[in-house]
Amino acid sequence: MSCKDANRSMDDNAFTLIQYDLTDEPLNNPYLKKLSPSIRERNDDLYELALTKPKEVISEITDLIKKYPEVPMFYNYLSVAYSQLSDSENRDAVVLECYKKFPDYLFGRVNYAQLCLNNGNVEKIPEIFENKLELKLLYPQRTKFHISEYMSFMGLIGLYNVKIGERKIAEQYYKMLKQIDPGHRITKHLKRTLTPPLIIRLLLWLHKKITGKVVTLEEYVKMYTPH
């Protein structure tokens, strides 16, 4: 499938129209060539199992990492499994290890960036993505991307923009995700992040009634946070 999106670099607020070639078919993955045929076939199921049966699959993935330490997907699957079990200590350790070993691996970058957002280290995001908010700039040698890559990257950049107070830009990323898969967990998560709880919306409404000024959630928090 093909889609057009408005994207921008981290040092440029101007959006440009980008043509993407997305697919849900397996891409030519050089790491798969390192695996035995049986493991290569098993690889297709591991991510789904990490999501749905994390306890059952952790031991298998750990063994695969020991056998194939230069295959980054297994680190990604393991971090997903730990995340599903709310084991943040082991998840964070695996995410950090993956990023250090494979700094150019997209999912490793996204996972580490999410870890930085969770820990309040927002300033590290530009460095992780080389100041590029667009997949084709980040990976200029590639002409096609898997939908999962697109969703993960765009979702993360959307959350980043929420964190830095660029709500309108984050809403653009939400629209991009919604265009591809409105029911995807990443799309839903960004939507929830962009939609303040009822009590917050009430506070913003009261602020407008009292002061006559409309403020964003980020501006409201800054105004009433002790320094």
**CB–CB of 147/187 below 8 Å?**
no
Render pLDDT for 134-174 as a digit per residue (tens, 0 to 9). Answer: 899 999 998 899 999 999 999 999 999 999 989 899 999 99
pLDDT recorded at residue 173: 93
What average pLDDT does the chain have? 86
Question: Does residue 108 share a domain with residue 30?
Answer: yes
Render pLDDT for 82-92 as a digit per residue (tens, 0 to 9). Answer: 999 999 999 99
**Average pLDDT of the residues in 198-205:** 71
Question: Does residue 63 share a domain with residue 165?
Answer: yes
Q: What is the domain range of residue 220? A: 197-227
Distance CA 58, CA 188 (A): 27
Render pLDDT for 4-18 as a digit per residue (tens, 0 to 9). Answer: 454 544 444 444 446
What SS3 state is found at 7? strand
**Which band of pLDDT confidence, cut at 50, 70 and 90, is reported for residue 61?**
very high
Question: Does residue 223 share a domain with residue 124?
Answer: no
Distance CA 201, CA 130 (A): 35
Answer whether residue 3 shows pLDDT above 80.
no
The token pair at 69 is: 């330490």
Question: Does residue 114 share a domain with residue 96?
Answer: yes
Question: Does residue 219 share a domain with residue 121?
Answer: no
pLDDT recorded at residue 215: 66
Question: Does residue 99 share a domain with residue 36?
Answer: yes
Q: CATH no. for residue 192?
A: 1.25.40.10
**Average pLDDT of the residues in 93-104:** 97
Question: Does residue 208 share a domain with residue 138?
Answer: no
pLDDT recorded at residue 10: 44
Question: Does residue 225 share a domain with residue 118?
Answer: no
Question: Does residue 47 share a domain with residue 127?
Answer: yes
**CB–CB of 125/161 below 8 Å?**
no
DSSP 81: H
**CB–CB of 129/172 below 8 Å?**
no
Question: Does residue 79 share a domain with residue 41?
Answer: yes
Lowest-confidence pick of 72-81, 171-180, 200-209: 200-209
Question: Does residue 79 share a domain with residue 186?
Answer: yes
**Average pLDDT of the residues in 130-135:** 90
Question: Does residue 202 share a domain with residue 131?
Answer: no
Tally of domains in the chain: 2
Answer whether residue 214 shows pLDDT above 90.
no
Within the chain, where are the H helices? Answer: 37-52, 54-67, 72-84, 88-101, 106-118, 125-128, 135-138, 147-163, 167-180, 185-194, 198-211, 217-224
